Chains A and B, each alone.
Chain A
């Protein structure tokens, strides 16, 4: 059972467009929601993360929107560039005793292509 559902599976936009990637979760105990970016041939790297006490977080051209009541969060990429072409993963985790339960639950990923 996929605890974090990510959509779409793939996405193509033109340069300057605003791709939006959505994630939905089931476990209300999740309290940390990161997004990772992965370029071909490389490992994922943390892009931006949010906690449920805020509804939005911006870092440069990347924005996370968080809707706690709907149990959804999304990544928006403003003024997208061909260099943003990558696979994006959302994830979620929850606190546990002594931090031992803080494993990431990953979405399946979205392959983004930004055409020039």
Chain B
């Protein structure tokens, strides 16, 4: 039982490049989330999904797109990377209602945009 797995763990991009971050969970959770974590800023919600085929915007969605084609996977895309998107990205999942059920986090993807 791996829990929440994020790939890749590290990545360096040049401004303007695109990439996709993959999140996979094996707990059959309905809810999935993408956060970014920056020093002094805490965790900020980018996008989330309440089930397969559905996505919704979070607090800081600009510059990102997501897809949830399969229940166990939640993809975060950067179409044209910018230095302001340098951050640590965390994926999380939870069973049914996300607020009062524990969110299970992956170990993060450290992304640098040069």
Q: Does B32 contact A (CB under 8 A)?
A: no
Q: What residues of chain B lie closer than 8 Å to A107, measured between beta carbons?
A: 42
Question: Are B50 and A32 in touch, CB under 8 angstroms?
Answer: no
Give the residues in chain B near A49, CB-CB below 8 Å: 100, 102
CB-defined interface of A73-89 with B at 8 Å, one 1/0 digit per residue?
Answer: 00000000000000001
Number of interface residues of A (CB under 8 A): 25
| Chain A proximity of B30: nearest CB distance (Å) | 10
Interface string of A36-51 (1 = CB under 8 A from B): 1000011111100100
Q: Count the B residues whose beta carbon is within 8 Å of the partner chain — how many?
A: 24
CB nearest neighbor in B for A92: B99
Q: Does B113 contact A (CB under 8 A)?
A: no
- A108→B90 contact, CB < 8 A: no
Given A100-B50, A103-B45, decide whether A43 and B105 contact each other with a Cβ distance below 8 A: yes
Q: Does B77 contact A (CB under 8 A)?
A: no
Do residues A103 and B42 form an inter-chain contact, with CB atoms below 8 A? Answer: no
Q: With A43-B92, A106-B42, A109-B42 given, is the CB distance from A93 to B99 under 8 Å?
A: yes
Question: Taking chain A's interface residues, is the majority helix, strand, or loop, or is none over half, making it mixed?
Answer: loop
- Which residues in A have their C-beta under 8 angstroms from that of B42? 89, 106-109
Known contacts A89-B42, A102-B98, A106-B43: does B103 contact A41 (CB below 8 Å)?
no
Asked if A95 lies at the interface with its beta carbon under 8 angstroms from chain B, I say yes
State whether A93 touches B100 (Cβ < 8 A): yes
CA distance A41 to B106 in the complex (A): 10
On chain A, the residues within 8 Å of B97 by CB distance are: 99, 102
Mark B residues whose CB is within 8 Å of A: 4, 40-45, 48, 50, 58, 90, 92, 96-100, 102-108
Closest 8 CB pairs of A and B: A102-B99, A43-B105, A93-B99, A99-B97, A108-B42, A46-B102, A32-B100, A102-B97
Q: List 17 A-B contacts (CB under 8 A).
A: A34-B102, A42-B108, A43-B90, A43-B92, A43-B105, A43-B107, A44-B43, A44-B90, A45-B104, A93-B98, A93-B99, A93-B100, A102-B98, A102-B100, A104-B45, A104-B99, A109-B42
Q: A: which residues have CB within 8 A of B?
A: 9, 32, 34, 36, 41-46, 49, 89, 93-95, 99-104, 106-109
